[in-house]
Amino acid sequence: MVGESDSERASLIVQRLRRMLQGIEQARRNPNRREAYHLGVAIEHVDAGEFTESEQAIRSAERVDPIPPEIAAQPGLNQPPTVAQLRAALDQVARDKAL
């Protein structure tokens, strides 16, 4: 029964992430650096089964919270992923988790 509730929770988080990505896409833009970071973290946490952390990352993306300073200094974040790249990562996690 624990697996079912985890599966349901993961499914709800994936749906929420898909809606967020769809909203960004409908605005005809890609996520900004902060949004992309937090959405990517949320996707990673779903993949790891860390649902509370994933939900926190989603809230951070919604609020466009700052990126942690130790992460923000990394040059790789200067080119945030596109909606399509984030969606592909999310779809892969959903397939892996059979959601």
In the predicted structure, residue 76 carries a pLDDT above the cut 80 = no
Our count of domains for the chain comes to: 1
What are the DSSP calls for 23-58, one per residue? HHHHTT----HHHHHHHHHHHHHHHHT-HHHHHHHH
pTM: 0.91
Q: Looking at the predicted structure, is the pLDDT value of residue 69 above 80?
A: yes
pLDDT at 31 over 90: yes
What per-residue confidence (pLDDT) applies to 1?
41
Report helix, strand and coil shares of the chain as percent, to nearest 5. Answer: 75, 0, 25
Task: Name residue, tokens 């466009």.
Answer: 64
Quick one: 85 exposed, middle or buried, by C-beta within 10 A (0-12, 13-18, 19+)? middle
Q: Which domain holds residue 19?
A: 2-96
Decide if 20 contacts 39 (C-beta within 8 A): yes
**Three-state SS for 85?**
helix
